[in-house]
Structure 1
Amino acid sequence: MKKIVLASLISLLVGTLPACSTNLSSSHPHSHRTADSTQTKPGFHNGVFSNRQGTIVIKNVATIVTNDPSTTQKLCAVIFRGTFTNKTASKTQAADFFQKYLEAYPLPKSQHQKLISSNLEAQSPYDSEIAAAHISTAPHKTTHFAVAFPLKKLYSHYELVPLTTQRQHLQAGVFKAKKTPLTNSAATGTTPTTTAKSSNSSQSTSKNVLHLTIDQKKQINADFLNWAAERATVEHMAVSDWYFDHGSAGLGDWYANTPDGQVQVQNQNQPGAAAFKIHAVGGCIFYKSKDGQIGKQNLYKGSFADNYSISLDDGQPVSKYLLGDNGVVYELKTGNGSSVSSSTGFGQYDDNGQLGNYQPDQNFEISADQAAQNELQKLLTPYQ
């Protein structure tokens, strides 16, 4: 009798115990849903879209009205400008990545219509960037590009919709347009543009481009270097005018990418000075010296093959300053563990003066160093 009662009691207790396996399995979906609800939706965020193949950063969206060379009519276009980073092991064109993973639309939604890209066969200040979109970007490199879409009329807002490989729409990026005058509009035959910039883009303080002789450029650069030497000493850094150099190379011009366009750094007449709206007056490089030296230093030591390796500590911050003849100081911040050489930040046109495969590995930005901007303006004043 006791055995029967005990067995019944055990059976009753087992029946009232929680079913662990059932509760655990039912708790997983709840936890998973909670985690998913807090995750950021894939797609555009702050002007950036990235997947396993590459990363697109939209820095500037411009609309232009220009002349169509094939007709007498006006041509409207929206141009998405930015950088493309190739994350694959093979060469990839920015235009191909853009076409495969992004769709462009004018807004508002009531006028929703997918835009079709074009090479924009009309004179515009973005021709070199549009051409660059169709040049292969080397693996794990970043290049500037632009993709143009012809329009029947201009809109105030534009949307980029990222796609998965299954053509599913992800979170879109929306860009609001603001009207700004077009630089060199008389030369390009275009009318003022409408420009939409992401929050992290820089506003240029560009002045009129000056036509300086080689001797004038040397004097301005020497004076700027003397100013920079005092600045470097105070900040316990070294500075040198050896900001740019290269070994054996082709016949094309050397240049740097900036938010204001390409800056010609070395003229070899391929394509020549007239092809660039901005030209380098000179430049310098701020760095931490391995031997602790500060102020103005001779960075060129040993052989060219040694380059910066003897004196410059690339584990510390490095800044290259590029002085434009438009009165703007451009800056490339690098180092901090990244390898730096005299050709870092610069690219070269091919032997026929066309945008080739040797493109800048990094891009200059408009320097936030207002003291440097003021110093360059002061040095250029006598030549204005």
Structure 2
Amino acid sequence: MGFLKDLHQDLRASRAPAAGFVTIGLFWGSFAGLVPDLKAAIGASDGVFGLAMFFAALGTLAAMWLAPRIDSKLGARAMQGAALCVALAFLLPGLATTPVWFALAMLLASSGSGALDVIMNTRVSGIESDTKRSLMNLNHALFSFAYAGAALSTGLFREAGLAPFYVFLIMNLCVFFLIPMMFHKAVGFDESDTSASMKVRTGLVFFGGTIILIAFMSEQATEAWSALHLERGLGGSAAQGALGPAILGLTMGVGRMSGQFIAAHVRETIVLQIAAVVAAIGLFIAAAAESLTIAYIGFAILGVGVSVMAPMAYSAVGKRVSNQQRAVVITRISVIGYTGFFVGPPLMGGLSEMFGLATSFTAIAVILLLVSAVLAPGLRKQ
């Protein structure tokens, strides 16, 4: 009962950014479930699709650099404005018929998503500082549950013959009910305060950002490509393919809810080392799977392991900086982290073109092991 009471208090304390995390989860979950249809609609190969997503990631990084200024300018309305941009922009990929138009549509959608991501993570970090409680895992768990629900629903919509545009429209309607909840006072960001920025330790930003990069790259690899692996490689139907990203989202949600409890008792860097190994094992299993059931098990294990990596890294870094530095540091590690969306699509698409999707997943698993062996111990020393 004590845990449930604490959980309720944590939800109340972070309800505004929590609505932002749900928003992001709804759109990227539906996108993951729609990848086979979107890819077919624009007539793209694996490599071309990966390249389109590569250019779309440019918008994410640009928006992330601007996010603290957007937060400062819009104040309490910042998350609401970013969420509205995300909702409207995600209608466009459903209308794209060529790789170029798809890349431009995803550029806009990713830009809004990137801005909202930085703002809501900065807000959660600030609330953590005020309440002296760990909230990152909880909020990232809400993203995962929303992602899983959207991916699973999208599979059913596809089975019913619903076009991608109308699936995104349904998600828009859901988000419009969440936007009023996102009114929240701004976390201070002073562009003239260069002294706070200059004092940020480079090692802290590097190790924290790189861990998030690998976590996001691993998530993205499964979100965007698991449906293809299940349908094309293992003969699954549209609903069975969508179950891959849905399982990932569900297990990530469960893992992050567990991380909410674990974070109060175990050092973040130790959790990161264990989690990276678990995630790598999951991807190895999924890559080698010869049946849908084994692949689902692999993706589930991946979800449990990778689930806590980004929130634990955000939390570990947030504890090591001052309130004045927080917006700057969150922005920097987020920008480094989201380069995973640069590296992920061309890496997955290129390896898939040459060797198949199973090899692509194996490569990501090997990279995950670097977190346990090198990066988490490095972050611990900062």
Instruction: State whether TM-score is above 0.5.
Output: no
Higher relative contact order (CA 8 A, sep 6+): 2
Q: Which has the higher helix share?
A: 2
Instruction: State the structure with more CA Rg.
Output: 1
Q: TM-score, normalised by structure 1?
A: 0.20
Q: Which has the higher strand share?
A: 1
Q: TM-score, normalised by structure 2?
A: 0.20
